[in-house]
Homo-oligomer: A and B are copies of this chain.
Amino acid sequence: MEVTRKNYKDCLNTVYSAIEEADFLAIDGEFSGISDGPNVSALTNGLDTPEERYTKLKKHSMDFLLFQFGLCTFKYDQTQSKYITKPFNFYVFPKPFNRTSPDIKFICQSSSIDFLASQGFDFNKVFCHGIPYLNKEEEAQLREQTEERRNQHANGVGTPSYISPSSSKSPAHVPDEHKVFINKVVEKVEALFTNSDKTLDLEPCTGFQRKLIYQTLNWKFPKGLHVETMETEKKERYIQVSKVDEEERKRREQQKLEREQEELNDAVGFSRVIHAISKSGKLVVGHNMLLDVMHTIHQFYCPLPEDLQDFKEVTMCVFPRLLDTKLMASTQPFKELITNTSLAELEKQLKETPFKSPRVETAEGFPSYDTAQEQLHEAGYDAYITGLCFISMANYLGSFLTPPKAYISARSKLIEPFFNKLFLMRIIDIPYLNITGPDLQPKRDHVLYVTFPKEWKTSDLYQLFSAFGNIQVSWIDDTSAFVSLSQTDQVQIAMNTSRYAESYRIQTYAEYVQGKQQDKEKLGQPANSMYIPVFFEAQLCGYLQFQSINMFFFLHGFRGIRKRSISPVQAEQGGTEPLITDGWSHYSYPDSTGSKKMKTDGQRR
């Protein structure tokens, strides 16, 4: 169901009840851009810490606009053994509510816009009919302003911005060139008092002329008139003068305030849908959803906190239960079966054996999507597909139970290991952001931090380290990069060799981290407490019955992971390495080619 400003109010109850009855929800956002940073390799370094990645995304991605929000609700029908879906595709735009409401500026990235354009995205629907919204703070501010204005009116203060201290004591000064104009207005108003008309609409005019009219009428006719600025459909402002007794005047003022109050409720707009999702506490599924979650909170709740830990807490308040299908597909037992975890490919692969397409039906009154006719990058469709992927994967987990189960609900313990862990793009050795606990801290003692002249390219680094076999380069900026060696014992050799180098400088990763922490302390910020690595909630493994699959991942977590973050050529082929890394290890490669081009939305998933 397509929802714009036109039908939003009519749809709201349908949306509320769909959320209320659902077993789980799937969401997706489309943005006006991905990154305003200098280049994608600086923005998504393969050896970012979760804190660094969060800071970068916050800094370089939040000024884009989430302008299409997809929500698909899934309710399991026990009797028919199938899911009933209700897909919604919301167009969202921060239309200024009035002249004093925030005038949002947002960035568009031409590659993202061009990509969406090529997918048939309808920008007119966003910009002309997008549903407005306010975050919590803006909402509170506007409610306060309206309250203040109400109090001022009650105290008879009038419209203060139009009346300067001097003008209330003396007649308005009308500059010569406006005298004819103002005199005509006064004549018309005098005529209004003698004729049978109740109101008089003046011609549209400038703000200065309106000020003169207000001042003049206020002086000449202190009683018996209600004067109000109105707006034509073309946004031309004009003044409406109404003949009223004191009681009527007050009633009109009151009416005006009530109208404002209702308009204000409308201005909260789309945020109400997010509030409803949040309040429901339902499982919210997304594909590669970190940016979706960040944007949703930033746009509809509050500006993102500085600190990752605070972000995690806010996220848990807004979305108490999240699941990322890209992380799920990249993890055992799926990662072996799924070679490409982009949403479109995942959906295709989950139709094939050993997976089963879920049985779903679109609820009556909702237009049904045809997955054969891909409508990717429409947020409502992407949310729908994401939900299908989740169901297929969840049900596949059921096949390992004794006896096997064909249907696994969104409340099943089987999927709990995936809760509240959001996929981290292109980080070599940290697959996910752990929203409900400390993040993984893989060892990085085979990693060197290298600084060099800005003319250097990837090939210069290959040259420099040519004696050490395969290396992996993760660019930080024009003059620095991480270089991962294939063996930790090479680190000392590299350090020794570089001692007398003048054009470049090498530090161990530990030295680099220490240096950064010292910089932070100099700036008066407390150093991050060092988290003890927590291995993927091993306590949950008790619930799992995956007798036939490799349990290593759940049991051993990330010990030894550094072996896998080096070049594949040198990696051990044995069975004891952690399997979770393979699924996304290839994301680091595009960066190491030295390409500094940003990825578009199309490449995001």
Contacts and interface: CB of A to CB of B under 8 A. Distances in A.
A444 B437 CA distance: 63
A173 B462 contact: no
A237 B483 CA distance: 29
Contacts of A429: none
A593 B340 contact: no
Nearest to A117: B128
A453 interface: no
Contacts of A208: 586-587, 589-590
A28 interface: no
Contacts of A162: 593
Nearest to A376: B234
Nearest to A336: B177
Interface stretch (A47-55, A100-108, A386-394, A497-505): A100-108
Chain multiplicity (copies): 2
Interface in A514-572: 567-569
A556 to B, nearest CB: 19
A365 interface: no
Contacts of A175: 568, 582, 585-586
Interface string A327-358: 00000000010011010000000000000000
Contacts of A211: 589, 593
Interface stretch (A15-23, A118-126, A246-254): A118-126
A373 interface: no
Interface residues of A, number: 79
Given A162-B593, A166-B470, A208-B589, A106 B104 contact: no
Interface stretch (A91-99, A135-143, A218-226): A91-99
A573 B36 CA distance: 56
A156 interface: no
A161 interface: yes
Contact of A207 (B65, B568, B589): B589
Select the residue from A113, A118, A160, A235 with max chain B CB neighbours within 10 A.
A113
Sorted nearest first, the 5 A-B pairs with minimum C-beta distance are A208-B586, A173-B569, A123-B123, A117-B128, A104-B110
Interface of A: 32-33, 36, 65, 93-96, 99-100, 103-111, 113-119, 122-124, 126-128, 160-162, 164-166, 173, 175-178, 181, 205-208, 211, 233-235, 336, 339-340, 342, 458-459, 462-463, 466, 469-470, 567-569, 573, 582, 585-587, 589-590, 593-595, 597-598, 602
